[in-house]
Amino acid sequence: MIQMEQTWRWFGPDDPVSLNDVKQSGATGVVSALHQIPHGDVWTTEDILKRKAIIEQKGLRWSVVESITVHEDIKTRTGDYKKYIEHYKTSVRNVAHCGIPVITYNFMPVNDWTRTTLSYSMPTGAKALYFNWVDLAVFDIYMLKRKGAAASYDDSIQQQAEHRFKTYSPGQLEALSGVVMFGIPGEKKITTADMLRKLDAYSHIDRAALQENLAAFLAEIAPVAEECGVKLAIHPDDPPFPILGLPRIVSKMEDFDYILKKVDIPANGVCFCTGSLGASAANDLTAMVKAIGNRIHFVHLRNVKRDAVGNFFEADHLGGDNDMYKVMKEILLLQQQTKISLPFRPDHGHQMLDDLKKTTNPGYSAIGRLRGLAELRGLEMGILRSLEN
């Protein structure tokens, strides 16, 4: 029976979790990126091989690039987008030349991912990532002061946001702003002025226009990836609904149908993230795995717990609202059909035990992910054994 490849996200030499820690987790593959390289610049073979050598010195494999960031000019098709597309092609070729088989990316405008709390208290005392609509409205309406922001929220959310803004201390408001604009560890932080400027670039870009821009990008990049023998894996929007006035185009099966059929070549594929997609109650994750099939090139496994309003926190990997058993079983059945071992990683994890005393990258402390990987590894073995009978 074909097992999934167990991988671990590592942010590079400055990551508080070392490669020695990664090796002890049981993972054999590493998911990493050159976050020090500015968005849009070329990843040189020299830089890639330097990182690859560091990983391989520990007896590990660089299995997936996550991510080569898509420059905002490409997403808006303005400014120097043609130059940045050529740079992206060169980076894809260089990654392929260095023997890394999968490149993950996303097409989320402005913010790579969004939460409102990085230390939501669980009943156990562990800390989790959390998204709350009222807090987002507080930031959007009263701190960012985006034009027309209030219209993005229903009356109840607006009223609660007004009250919450008045009761939050300056320190709480500053912390909220920092969380919403947190971005990716190792990359340059932005200010509210930066965000407003970036949002303004999307003022005339609706869902259809952004879809067309993604299709145009893939029409250029996917053939290069196919020629080089590397696979592209688009990550879903996180969270999978419009925020800050921005459209979302990688949030549901309809979106994946568009992406995969518009540029219908094997290299053009999906990073199937159960946490991002599972934050929407409308998504049937098991049905989506069946529908996307062999165009899934990489898997993120994590869980979320939603409430009726759509707020969610990141739950235990085998807890929450996503049926991880059904999802993993469908992925494992897919692997037996394709004869391909898909790389997966435990996505995010609670800050717990000794990690509560440490400075960690939010969602990427060691012990919480170690627990998640252990649970997922056990679930996988149980499913595979049952398939043998």
Closest CA to 288 of 344, 326, 233: 326
Check 73, 140, 347, 355 and give the catalytic one. Answer: 347
Asked if 364 is an active-site residue, the reply is yes
Contact 249, 240 (CB under 8 A): no
Q: Is 300 marked active-site?
A: yes
Burial letters 249-277, b for 16+ CB under 10 A, else e:
bbbbeebbeebbebbebebbbbbbbbbbb
What DSSP string describes 128-179?
EEEE-HHHHHIIIIIII--TTGGGGS-HHHHHHHHHHHHHS-HHHHHHHHHH
Q: Which of 35, 87, 297, 300 is catalytic?
A: 300
In three-state form (DSSP H/G/I as H, E/B as E, the rest C), the secondary structure along 318-373 is CCCCCCHHHHHHHHHHHHHHHCCCCEEEECCCCECHHHHHCCCCCCCCHHHHHHHH
Are the C-beta atoms of residues 9 and 32 closer than 8 Å to each other? yes
CA distance 179 to 181: 5
Q: What share of the chain is helix, strand, coil (3-state, %, to 5)?
A: 45, 15, 40
Give the active site residue among 273, 316, 350, 355.
273
List Cα–Cα distances, 133 to 52, 114, 115, in angstroms. 40, 11, 10
How many CB atoms are closer than 10 A to CB 113? 18
**CB neighbours of residue 387 within 10 Å:** 12
Tell me which of 35, 87, 317, 348 is the catalytic residue: 348
Pairing of strands 343-346, 5-9: parallel
* Residue 240, helix vs strand vs coil: coil
Q: Which of 88, 120, 202, 364 is catalytic?
A: 364
From the candidates 35, 71, 87, 235, which is the catalytic residue?
A: 235
d(CA 69, CA 87) in angstroms, rounded, equals 11
Catalytic residues: 235, 273, 300, 347-348, 364
